[in-house]
């Protein structure tokens, strides 16, 4: 048990998928895992452990933003000794070409110099995805015919910003494909604990065109992401 998680030692698998939204966590567990067991309900940050193709896998909600994400990730890595974290998140596309409902696989990430997360110098050093997880995801996404893009992503701890989309101009000029609110923290805390990490994101809106998906279609929209993340989880 930890301050934010009622699960005991041994309740989590070594590999944990990390959606922000508890509804997504529950849907993924019920849809894809055999014999899913809820291991955390505290604060509604639902966590599940079950089997995928006979291999143990967990799914843990992380909430919104770096501060929330780091609490759940830290407790998984430090107390539960988790070895692999795969984010199954949503993002906003930063180029018109990256279509709604496609996947963005974060090959590198540019974070804001937010105050949160500085405890481990999380924003001081570059950190990225585990090369084997990344290679597996790219190969399987291709084999499964999943529309996906891989490259630089941006990570912002602020969703509603007074500058609006203008604040992304610099990172867009560097070629960033999409923005989320946790990937930078994921890569840095995984690096700190010597764990492996990968961030796979479903595009739910486009910051450039203003297009949006509707929340009602969201679980169906996540099928490709969940399948790909589970495939990577059990094979890598």
Site residues, ligand R1P (CB under 6 A): 19-21, 64, 89-90, 159, 180-182
- 108 or 213: CB nearest ligand URA: 213
Given the residues 157, 205, 224, 231, the one annotated as active site: 205
- Residue 2, φ and ψ in degrees, nearest 5: -130, 170
205 is catalytic: yes
Minimum CB distance to ligand URA, residue 163 (Å): 14
Minimum CB distance to ligand URA, residue 45 (Å): 18
Give the whole-angstrom CA distance, residue 60 versus residue 40: 8
Residue 170 burial (10 A CB sphere; 0-12, 13-18, 19+): exposed
- 90 or 206: CB nearest ligand R1P: 90
Neighbour count for residue 71 (Cβ, 10 Å): 18
What does 19 interact with, of ligand URA, ligand R1P, none (CB < 5 to 8 A by kind)? ligand R1P
- Which residues have CB under 8 Å from 18's CB, separation 6+? 59, 60, 61, 62, 69, 72, 73, 85, 86, 87, 88, 89, 182, 186
| Residue 180 binds ligand URA (CB under 6 A) | yes
Minimum CB distance to ligand R1P, residue 55 (Å): 23
Site for ligand URA in 88-117 (CB under 6 A): 90-92
Minimum CB distance to ligand URA, residue 52 (Å): 26
CA angle 87, 92, 95 (to 5 degrees): 120
Site for ligand URA in 190-209 (CB under 6 A): 204-205, 207
The beta strand positions in 32-82, using DSSP E, are 34-40, 47-52, 55-60
Cβ–Cβ under 8 Å, residues 47 and 39: yes
- 9 or 113: CB nearest ligand R1P: 113
Q: Which residues are catalytic?
A: 205
User: Where along the sequence are the contacts to ligand URA (CB under 6 A)?
Assistant: 90-92, 159, 179-181, 204-205, 207
């Amino acid at each position: 048990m930890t301050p934010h998680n009622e699960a005991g030692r041994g309740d989590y698998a070594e590999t944990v998928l990390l959606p922000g939204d508890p509804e997504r966590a529950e849907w993924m567990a019920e849809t894809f895992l055999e014999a899913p067991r809820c291991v955390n309900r505290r604060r509604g940050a639902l966590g599940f452990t079950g089997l995928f193709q006979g291999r143990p896998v967990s799914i843990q909600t992380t909430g919104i933003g770096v501060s929330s994400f780091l609490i759940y990730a830290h407790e998984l890595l430090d107390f539960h000794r988790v070895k692999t974290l795969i984010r199954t998140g949503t993002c906003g596309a930063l180029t018109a070409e990256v279509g709604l409902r496609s996947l963005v696989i974060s090959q590198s990430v540019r974070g804001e110099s937010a105050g949160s997360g500085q405890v481990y110098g999380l924003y001081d050093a570059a950190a990225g995805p585990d090369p084997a997880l990344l290679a597996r995801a790219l190969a399987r996404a291709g084999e499964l015919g999943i529309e996906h893009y891989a490259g630089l992503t941006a990570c912002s701890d602020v969703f509603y910003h007074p500058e609006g989309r203008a604040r992304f101009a610099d990172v867009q000029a560097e070629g960033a494909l999409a923005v989320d609110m946790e990937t930078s923290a994921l890569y840095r805390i995984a690096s700190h604990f010597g764990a492996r990490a990968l961030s796979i994101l479903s595009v739910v809106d486009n910051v450039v065109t203003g297009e949006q998906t509707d929340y009602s279609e969201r679980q169906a929209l996540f099928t490709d992401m969940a399948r790909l993340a589970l495939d990577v989880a059990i094979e890598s």
